[in-house]
Amino acid sequence: MRRLGRAAWVHDCERDADLSANLSERVTLGPNLDGELSAKSNRLGGSAQLRVSF
């Protein structure tokens, strides 16, 4: 008879850091970054946001 076990830990940290740049009075450009890091694998992704107000 064998006993198997598994444990996991998640740290969710959300920060209100606004890294956007105002290109003009109506246009804003900013990044959106996401990542998962572990001992066996890493995943990083990102995108850019372009906001235009009319």
The token pair at 37 is 């890091």
Task: Over range 2-26, report the average pLDDT.
Answer: 71
Task: Give yes or no for residue 27 having a pLDDT over 90.
Answer: yes
Contacts of 45 (CB under 8 A, 6+ apart): 33, 34, 35
Residue 21's DSSP bridge partners are 29
41 band by pLDDT with thresholds 50, 70 and 90: confident
38 band by pLDDT with thresholds 50, 70 and 90: confident
What confidence score (pLDDT) does residue 24 get? 92
Model pTM score: 0.50
Closest CA to 22 of 54, 51, 2, 42: 51
Average model confidence (pLDDT) for the chain?
A: 79
